[in-house]
Amino acid sequence: MIGFLTKNKSIRNAVLSLTFALSAYANAGEIEVVFLDDTGVGFNSQESYAPVGGNNATTLGEARKNVLYRAIRMVESQVNIKTNFAINVKFKVLGGDVENFDAITSGPTFIFHNQHNGNPYGILESSRLYPSNLISTLQSTITKSSTISTTMFSLDTPFYLGFDNNSQERSFISTVLHEPVHVMGFAKINCFSSCLPKPISKPSHFTKFVFAQGEPLVAFDELSIDEQEAVASSSDGLLFLGSAATQSKLTKLLTGGVHDGAVELHADGESDGQKISHFSPNVQPTQLMASDGANVQDFGAAAYILCDIGWCRESGQVIDIALDLVGTQFKARPGRLLNVDFVIHNNTNTAVDNIKFETRFPEAITLSDAFLENGECAVLEDTLMSCSVNTIRANESLDVHFTLSGNIGEYQLSGELSSTSFDVDSHGSNNLFDIEFVVQPNTPPSIELGDTMRVNEGETVSISASSYDEDNDDLTHSWVQLSGPKVELSDENTLDLMFIAPEISQDSNLVFKLTVFDGEDEVSSIIDVSVLDLDKENTKQAPNDSGGSFGWVLLSVIGFCCLEKHQPKITILVCCCNSRFVDNYSNLIKKVSL
C-alpha cells in the first residue's frame, strides 16, 4: 500500500538540489526537486543498473532519477499549475506504522486564503485551508519556490524502474506519480496524519466535496466534530461528491464503491488519517489513487477530483490528449535532413482548446520546416520549438512535422503536449516524447553469398543470400546476369533468386551479381553457377565398364576407318569409332605403324 502522511516534520538541509525546469515552457510554473539522500545512497546510488523499459541509465541512482523526472514531466503536462514549488525526496527504510508502505508523503503545506491577494476565479473562501501551490495558482501568482512536501521512498521495495510499467514487480513510475497527486491536493480533510481523534475544526478545499453516507448524503462540513470523527473512522462511510461531470464519469468509470455518483474514500474503521486520502478498496477497476496502488499511469478518477478541488478553475475539464511519434529511426548523415512526424490525438468527446506542443533540442543541431496542422510553429531561443493550435475537435487528430540536421554526434530531444487551458489531463504518459538523434557517416551494407554452385540443365535453381546494415537503414536488392546463356529471373529485387537452368549442348557457366543499396552506398557480390550438359554426361562409360567383346570390331574396322594405302608406313588412327571404345582401349591401341 502507498501511504500518505501530512504531519509536519523538520527537514534537514538538502545535500543536492536540482531544478526540473522543463515545465517553464509548457506552463508558467516550475517544480523544483530537492534530493535529500547522502552520497551513494538512494537517488545518488552508484550501484550498477541494467537498462530496462526505456530507462537507459547505468547506475541505480540515475535510473531512479530518470523515473522521477519523467513523472514530474507528466504531472506538469497534465495540470496547468501556474505556480512554483519544491518537493523534497529521499530513500530510506520505512519502519513502524508505515513499514509496509512503498512511499509516504508529508505535505502539502496548507494555508488560508488572504483576500488581499485576489480571487480572480471566485473559488477561494476565507474560512478554508488550501494547499499552498493550489492557492497560488488560484490567485494567478507565480511565487518563488518554497518546499511544500517531502516524500520518502522505501529502500526495501524492489521497484521496477522501466518507463513502460509492463512488469509484475512494483512499478516505481506508478509510485512516483501517486505521490504528486497528493501534493497537488488530493488530500484528506485538513487534519494531518494523526489528527484523529483530535478535533477537526477547520474546513479545507477538500472537505467541501466530502459527505457522510446516508439518506440523503450529509455534508461533512455540517457535521459536529464528534460526527466527523465517527464518519471518518467508519467503514466506507465517507464519500466524495464532486461536480455533475465527475458524478457522471465516476459512475461509468468505476464498477464499485460508488453511491449516487459519490465515490468511497478509504475510511476503514482505523481512524487512520492517511487512508482517507485514498479511494476505498471497493473502487474497481483500481485507479491511480486506489489504496492498493496498482501499477497504473492514468490518474483515472483522481483527475476528476483534482479538477473539482480547484485545478480546473471551474472553466476547465478532464481531457485526454495524446502524442504519437511516427517512425523509430532517427539517424541521419552529416548535412542530410531527417523528417520527424507526430500525430496529436484528442481522445476526449469534447473539443479541447489551447493545445501546445513543444520540443527542446541542443544548439548543435538545426530544427526547421516546423508545421502543425491548423496551427502555427516557431523556433524560440535557438533550442525550443513551440507549436500551438487554438482548438482540436472531439476525437480529432492533427499532424505535426519538422526536420532535423546536424554534424556528427549523438543528440537528445524531448518535449511535451499539453493544454494551456484550465484542463486536467487524465493520462500523462502519452503526452511525452524523447528522441535520440544520431548523426554519423554511413556504414555500407554487407552481403553473405556463396562463390559457386553446380546444377543440371533444366533444374530449378534457388540462390539464397543475406544482407546486413549496421545503421539499420532500409535496404534494396537487385540481381543481374553478367554472362552465360540467358535465363529468366523470377524476381530480381529480392534476396532469393530463382531461375530454371538452360538447356545446353555442352557444360556452361552462368555469372550473377547481387547489389545491395542502403540509400547512400552500394555493395555487390558475384556467384558462378556451373550448368552440366545431361546428354553428354549420360553417354559417358564408367571406367570399369566391360568392352572386351567389341575388341575385334575395333581391329576389323581399322582398315575402313583410317587406312592410308600405298604409303611406306601406314598409321592407323581410331578416328571414326565411338569415344567410349577409345576410352576402353586407350591402353591397347594408341598408334599402329606398318
CA distances to 48, 51, 73, 164, 291 from 161, in Å: 13, 9, 16, 9, 21
Say how far apart CA 453 and CA 530 lie, in whole Å.
Answer: 6
Tally of CA atoms within 13 A in the half-sphere of 29 that contains its CB:
27
> For position 294, what pLDDT does the model report?
64
For the cut 90, the answer to whether the pLDDT of residue 506 exceeds it is yes
- Decide: 136 and 108 in contact? Cβ < 8 Å: no
Residue 290's pLDDT is what?
Answer: 64
Q: How many percent of the chain have pLDDT more than 70?
A: 80
Q: How far apart are alpha carbons 453 and 531 in whole angstroms?
A: 9
pLDDT of residue 142: 63
Residue with cell string 474503521: 269
Q: Which residues of 55-74 are buried (b: 16+ CB within 10 A; e: fewer)?
A: bebeebbbbbbbbbbbbbbb
Give the model's pLDDT for residue 273.
56
Sheet containing 103-106: give its strands across. Answer: 16-20, 30-35, 84-92, 147-154, 103-106
For 75-107, the pLDDT digits (tens) are 999 999 888 899 999 999 998 877 888 898 888
Q: Of the spans 271-280, 343-352, 465-474, which averages the highest pLDDT?
A: 343-352
CB 395 within 8 A of CB 350: no
Q: What is the side-by-side order of every strand in the sheet holding 365-372?
A: 321-326, 338-346, 397-406, 365-372
Beta carbons of 78 and 299 less than 8 angstroms apart: yes
Percentage of the chain with pLDDT > 90?
48
Q: Which residue has the higher pLDDT, 12 or 359?
A: 359
Q: Return the C-alpha cell found at 531.
A: 550448368
What is the per-residue pLDDT across 293-332, written as a single tens digit (0 to 9) for each?
567 888 888 899 999 999 999 889 999 999 999 987 888 8
User: What pLDDT score was predicted for residue 571?
Assistant: 36
Instruction: Tell me the backbone φ, ψ of residue 99, rounded to 5 degrees.
Output: -65, -20
Rounded distance between C-alpha atoms, residue 416 and residue 429, angstroms: 10
Candidate from 94-108, 318-332, 397-411, 516-530 with smallest mean pLDDT: 94-108
Residue 179 has pLDDT above 80, yes or no: yes
DSSP 465-532: -EEE-TT----EEEEEEEESS----S-TTSSSEEEEPPP-SS-EEEEEEEEEE-SS-EEEEEEEEEEE
State the pLDDT at residue 270: 64
- φ/ψ of residue 62, rounded to 5: -65, -40
Express each pLDDT in 252-279 by its tens digit: 888 788 888 888 888 766 655 567 778 8
Amino acid at 456: N
- Whether omega before 197 lies within 30 degrees of 0, making that bond cis, reads yes
Contact criterion met (CB below 8 Å) for 431 and 416: yes
Q: What is the 3-state secondary structure (H, E, C) of 193-237?
A: CCCCCCCCCCCECCHHHEEECCCCCEEHHHCCHHHHHHHHCCECC
**Given this model, what pLDDT does residue 564 score?**
41
Average pLDDT of the segment spanning 62-80: 95
- CA atoms of 342 and 370, how far apart (whole Å): 11
Mean pLDDT confidence for 538-551: 46
- How much is the pLDDT for 192? 38
Sheet holding 508-517, edge to edge: 452-456, 522-532, 508-517, 476-483
The average pLDDT across 29-51 equals: 94
516: left (phi over 0), alpha (psi -120 to 50) or beta: beta
| Mean pLDDT for all residues in the chain | 81
- Rounded to an integer, what distance in angstroms lies between the CA atom of residue 594 and that of residue 577? 20
What 3 state SS string does 382-416 have? CCEEEEEEEEECCCCEEEEEEEEEECCEEEEEEEE
Backbone dihedral region for residue 96 (phi beyond 0: left; psi -120 to 50: alpha; all else: beta): left
The sign of the dihedral angle between the CA atoms of 578, 583, 584, 590 is positive
Q: Are 39 and 140 in contact (CB under 8 A)?
A: no
pLDDT, position 591: 37
Model confidence over 194-248: pLDDT tens digits? 444 454 567 888 888 999 988 888 998 898 878 887 887 777 788 999 999 888 8
Give pLDDT, residue 155: 94
